[in-house]
């Protein structure tokens, strides 16, 4: 199968390209740039459009497996399909320590069934903590439990997971010794340590230092997750300085962020443990419930207490971050885009269906950052940070994951009221050399494969 994409503006920051070229895809790879021969099975006229590497979502969550052991592939509501419609061709799932399924087995399932986008996995620490028998998230693990976790996490890395993710915020009993012991598996493969760090707002600086100390001690690359919801309350400038200071030491630290001023988490999570309103300086009404009988409503103390007790898994949206702080994050050259996408039965935060086009619409189109820089944050930066040599780039031999969009009309449409709405302005999404989405509609739901680092 040969696809020739003619006359588009090729933006490929990994190869420092931003100019008009023809691109030939063949058998799942980039075969040529400006080929001499024009023959192809499919020719796409991309004049006036941007042609760039498929977007890489370095921070996605879901690994949805149904009771019959297959991956949930619902056309409208499954997250890999909302990802595909917004131009993502590779999503890294299993972040914040949370996986629902054994992450290496999930990669095998992806290859067996095929998914809409390529899937890479982080090995989620909390899953293995619970599996080891340590079920008290506020308490420490025993030596035997730590040894079991370390062995199972290392096995995940040897089977292709890109790194280990932690939700330190969600497991307050996780201490330095447990972090060091369980993270050591990454040293075998050079995997990345990713973390939703222990605390946010004014406590974010100490929380970042705690995590960075682990990467420094083990000489491993790190990823600090969704920094907008960690430092987006007036701490962003100092937080970015803190990270830059550590990078100047030679540490490899990535930061990701999503372009919204509200975060999303379960009502039962530790984020809402006592003291949360003081931390954010807010009332109960900043929390909107996404599911159940109060769906779409803001909380009162009574509703908050009732749902936290009776339906702790209820997804919430919390409207507390400052937009100018999120803007500050994206203007920083070291911050990439991660959707932090989660969906539960098709409900949740619009970032799962809109984060990537929103970065272009809200930042590049308005001149806050250049289009080239926006593409960089969605392609080359995550690929390089994760050590993926054939993703996030379009040189000859790279995987044929491509997005073609109209730089004038591209826009996210997903909202908090309608979180699944497909964006507009994305003409084609090509996954492993197959046209997978066209004009916002999915035409192939199984072109994706597992992405492993072994
Ligand atoms: Zn998180």
Residues 6+ apart with CB under 8 A from 141: 129, 132, 134, 149, 173, 174, 178
Q: Would you say residue 301 lies in a domain?
A: no
Task: Compute the distance between CA of residue 148 and CA of residue 170 in angstroms, rounded to an integer.
Answer: 20
Ligand 1 centroid distance, CA of 250 (Å)? 26
Q: Would you say residue 282 lies in a domain?
A: no
Contact, 94 vs 59, CB < 8 A? no
pLDDT digits (tens, 9 = 90+) for 263-310: 988 999 999 999 999 999 999 999 999 889 999 899 999 999 999 999
Ligand 1 centroid distance, CA of 321 (Å)? 15
Task: Compute the distance between CA of residue 419 and CA of residue 426 in angstroms, rounded to an integer.
Answer: 18
Q: Would you say residue 80 lies in a domain?
A: yes
Contact, 126 vs 98, CB < 8 A? yes
The pair of three-digit structure tokens given for residue 123, joined into one six-digit string: 């090995």
Domain of 237, CATH number, reads 3.20.20.140
Amino acid 135: pLDDT = 95
Contact, 170 vs 98, CB < 8 A? yes
Q: Using 70 as the pLDDT threshold, list the residues of the chain that sit under it.
A: 454
Torsion of CA 74, 80, 84, 89, to 10 degrees: -150
Residues near ligand 1 ion, CB 5 Å cutoff: 96, 196
Q: Would you say residue 278 lies in a domain?
A: no
Task: Compute the distance between CA of residue 336 and CA of residue 369 in angstroms, rounded to an integer.
Answer: 12
Q: What is the domain range of residue 378?
A: 54-261+321-387
Ligand 1 centroid distance, CA of 116 (Å)? 24
Ligand 1 centroid distance, CA of 33 (Å)? 39
Q: Would you say residue 9 lies in a domain?
A: no
pLDDT digits (tens, 9 = 90+) for 419-429: 999 999 999 99
Ligand 1 centroid distance, CA of 263 (Å)? 9
Residue written as token pair 């062995």: 151
Task: Compute the distance between CA of residue 153 and CA of residue 251 in angstroms, rounded to an integer.
Answer: 23
Mark 360-395 as b/e (b = at least 16 C-beta within 10 Å): bbbbbbeeebebbbbbbbbbbbbbbbbebeebbbbe
Q: Would you say residue 251 lies in a domain?
A: yes
DSSP state of 169: G
Ligand 1 centroid distance, CA of 351 (Å)? 13
Ligand 1 centroid distance, CA of 439 (Å)? 31
Ligand 1 centroid distance, CA of 226 (Å)? 7
Q: How far is CA 295 from CA 262, 316, 318, 333, in A?
A: 17, 9, 14, 38
CB neighbours of residue 430 within 10 Å: 27
Count how many domains the chain has.
Answer: 1
SS3 content of the chain, % helix, strand, coil (to 5): 35, 25, 40
Q: How far is CA 16 from CA 364, 379, 399, 404, in A?
A: 18, 12, 17, 18
Q: What angle do CA 127, 141, 122 make, to 5 degrees?
A: 30
Report the residue count for the chain. 454
Amino acid 152: pLDDT = 97
The pair of three-digit structure tokens given for residue 323, joined into one six-digit string: 């937009």
Ligand 1 centroid distance, CA of 255 (Å)? 12
Ligand 1 centroid distance, CA of 101 (Å)? 18
Task: Compute the distance between CA of residue 54 and CA of residue 451 in angstroms, rounded to an integer.
Answer: 14
Instruction: Quickly list DSSP for 194-259.
Output: EEE-S--GGGHHHHHHHHHHHHHHHT--EEE--THHHHTTTTHHHHHHHHHHHHHTT--EEEEE-S
Contact, 331 vs 364, CB < 8 A? no
Ligand 1 centroid distance, CA of 435 (Å)? 32
Mark 253-268 as b/e (b = at least 16 C-beta within 10 Å): bbbbbbbbbbbbbbbb
Ligand 1 centroid distance, CA of 225 (Å)? 6
pLDDT digits (tens, 9 = 90+) for 84-112: 999 999 999 999 999 999 999 999 999 99
Contact, 383 vs 15, CB < 8 A? no
Q: Would you say residue 269 lies in a domain?
A: no
- What residues pair up with 399 in beta bridges, in sequence order? 29
Ligand 1 centroid distance, CA of 341 (Å)? 10
The pair of three-digit structure tokens given for residue 219, joined into one six-digit string: 């000489």
Task: Compute the distance between CA of residue 78 and CA of residue 420 in angstroms, rounded to an integer.
Answer: 10
Q: Would you say residue 94 lies in a domain?
A: yes
Ligand 1 centroid distance, CA of 445 (Å)? 27
């Amino acid at each position: 199968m040969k696809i020739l994409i003619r006359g588009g503006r090729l933006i490929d920051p990994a190869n420092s390209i931003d100019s008009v070229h023809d691109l030939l895809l063949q058998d799942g790879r980039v075969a040529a740039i400006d080929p001499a021969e024009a023959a192809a099975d499919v020719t796409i006229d991309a004049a006036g459009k941007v042609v760039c590497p498929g977007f890489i979502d370095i921070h996605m969550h879901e690994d949805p497996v149904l009771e019959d052991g297959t991956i949930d592939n619902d056309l409208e509501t499954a997250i890999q399909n909302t990802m595909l419609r917004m131009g993502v061709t590779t999503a890294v799932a299993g972040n914040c320590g949370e996986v629902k399924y054994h992450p290496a087995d999930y990669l095998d399932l992806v290859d067996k069934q095929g998914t809409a986008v390529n899937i890479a996995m982080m090995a989620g620490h909390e899953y293995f903590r619970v599996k080891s028998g340590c079920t008290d998230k506020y308490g420490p693990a025993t030596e035997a439990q730590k040894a079991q976790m370390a062995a199972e996490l290392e096995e995940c890395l040897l089977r292709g997971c890109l790194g280990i993710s932690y939700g330190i915020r969600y497991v307050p009993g996780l201490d330095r010794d447990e972090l060091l012991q369980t993270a050591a598996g990454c040293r075998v493969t050079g995997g990345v340590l990713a973390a939703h760090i222990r605390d946010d707002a004014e406590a974010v600086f100490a929380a970042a230092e705690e995590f960075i100390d682990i990467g420094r001690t083990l000489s491993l690359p790190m990823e600090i997750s969704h920094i907008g919801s960690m430092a987006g309350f007036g701490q962003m400038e100092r937080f970015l300085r803190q990270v830059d200071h550590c990078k100047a030491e030679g540490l490899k630290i990535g930061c990701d962020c999503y372009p919204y001023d509200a975060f999303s988490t379960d009502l039962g999570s530790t984020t809402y443990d006592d003291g949360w309103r003081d931390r954010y300086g807010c009332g109960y009404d900043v929390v909107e419930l996404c599911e159940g009988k109060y769906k779409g409503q803001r909380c009162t103390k009574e509703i908050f207490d009732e749902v936290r007790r009776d339906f702790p898994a209820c997804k919430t949206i919390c409207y507390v971050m400052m937009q100018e702080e999120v803007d500050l994050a994206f203007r920083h050259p070291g911050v990439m885009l991660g959707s932090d996408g989660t969906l539960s039965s098709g409900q949740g935060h619009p970032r799962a269906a809109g984060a990537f086009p929103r970065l272009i619409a809200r930042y590049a189109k308005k001149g806050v950052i250049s289009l080239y820089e926006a593409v960089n944050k969605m392609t080359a930066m995550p690929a390089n940070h994760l050590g993926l040599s054939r993703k996030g780039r379009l040189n000859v031999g790279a995987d044929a994951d491509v997005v073609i969009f109209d730089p004038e009309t591209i826009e996210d449409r997903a909202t908090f009221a309608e979180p699944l709405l497909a964006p507009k302005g994305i003409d084609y999404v090509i996954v492993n050399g197959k046209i997978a989405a066209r004009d916002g509609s999915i035409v192939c739901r199984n072109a994706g494969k597992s992405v492993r680092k072994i």
